[in-house]
Amino acid sequence: MIRWDTLVFIIYSAVPLGFIVLAESVCLISGNFDLSVGTMTGFIGIVAGVIMARLPGTIPDPLTILLPLILGLGCGAINGSLVGFLGLNPFLTTLGTYMVFFSGKLLIYPHPIYGTDFPKIYTMIGNNEVISLSIFAATLIILWFVLRFTRFGAHLYAVGAEPKTASMLGINKGIMYFFAYLIAGFFCGMSALFYTGFLFAIDPYTATDALFPAFAAAVIGGISLKGGRGSVINIFAGLILLAVIEAGLSMFAVSPFLREIVFGCLVIGAIVINRLRDSVRDRILRPG
């Protein structure tokens, strides 16, 4: 039986990944996906770390927490412009930016940057359970409200479910795709901030392997791979499931190779569940 304080810590440790799950979920709802969310997070963390650790005093301490968010918006805007405005294939495009971000952070600074090199306020946010969980919960609720009750949310679901119909109704697909990736980049910036606080360090390999757990948590939580379906509130269940499994594997010192097998099976299982769920829904909604 898991003790309450242990469960709280497990959820707290999953907050940085949770922001990546939110990033991927927004892209999936729009009918696209982003393969670069993990390496983008590490890239943002390293760039922010280099600016603050190697150029101290460049930014006033209270404003340093905005740096990864601004960097995230910039990275998201790159993906959004390529997919939304140039109409490039999202798989190949984000695979390309995955490699750019991965190699870029190694070129910029191939070593860890420790928490002592950051302003105290920067690491304090992700290093405190109450603050981390409160900010993540508030972010989740705000995103749910925006997607559920605003015109922007309705348009995002529309282009994800029926892009041709959405275009006929006057919804600009390119702009919606752009903002989906922009929001995803912002959440990757949030993740970089919280990873740095939680780990009290950031290194070039941070979050590199976060892509598949993010996919799995989103799909287990009900986000459709076809786009236009699912609620971000429900992904919390998928996130907790992955966090508990990860904690269990760590507790029993399971081999890293076996961990990859376990998470690979989870991804496959999530895809199968998604397929069955969509098939059942389509059968119910099919006329006649």
Per-residue pLDDT of 146-196, as tens digits, reads 999 999 999 999 999 999 999 999 999 999 999 999 999 999 999 999 999
Residue type, 46: I
CA 98 to chain centre: 14
Q: What are phi and psi of 207, to 5 degrees?
A: 70, 5
In a domain, 33, yes or no: yes
Q: pTM here?
A: 0.93
**Which residues are within 8 A (CB) of 2 and not within 5 positions of it... i.e. 6 or more apart?**
10, 244
Residue 277 has pLDDT above 80, yes or no: no
Residue 249: exposure state from Cβ atoms within 10 A (0-12, 13-18, ≥19): middle
Q: Is residue 269 part of a domain?
A: no
Flag whether 252 is in a domain. no
Q: Can you tell me the mean pLDDT for 75-104?
A: 97
**Is 41 exposed, middle or buried, given 0-12, 13-18 or 19+ CB atoms closer than 10 A?**
buried
Do the domain assignments include residue 41? yes
Least confident of 70-74, 86-90, 281-285: 281-285
Question: What is the identity of the amino acid at 263?
Answer: F
- Split at pLDDT 50, 70, 90, the class of 242 is confident
In a domain, 251, yes or no: no
Q: Is residue 103 part of a domain?
A: yes
Task: Flag whether 229 is in a domain.
Answer: no
pLDDT tier at 65 (50, 70, 90 boundaries)?
very high
Averaged pLDDT, 120-134: 93
pLDDT given for residue 257 in this prediction: 82
pLDDT digits (tens, 9 = 90+) for 131-146: 999 999 999 999 999 9
Look at 34-43, 75-84, 250-259 and tell me which has the smallest mean pLDDT.
Answer: 250-259
SS3 204: coil
Domain assignment present for 132: yes
- Determine what percent of the chain is predicted with pLDDT higher than 70: 98
Residue 114, SS3 per DSSP: strand
Give how many domains the chain has, as a whole number.
Answer: 1
Select from 48, 211, 23, 218 the least CA-distant residue to 125. Answer: 48
* Average predicted confidence (pLDDT) for the chain: 91
Q: What is the pLDDT of residue 279?
A: 79
Asked whether residue 27 carries a pLDDT value surpassing 90, the answer given is yes
Instruction: Report whether pLDDT(287) > 60.
Output: no
Domain that holds residue 156: 4-208
Which tokens in the block code for residue 48? 């922010």
- Across 22-50, average pLDDT: 96
Tell me if 277 sits within 8 A of 219, measured CB to CB: no
Confidence of residue 288 (pLDDT cuts 50, 70, 90): low
Measured CA to CA, the distance from residue 143 to residue 135 in angstroms comes to 12
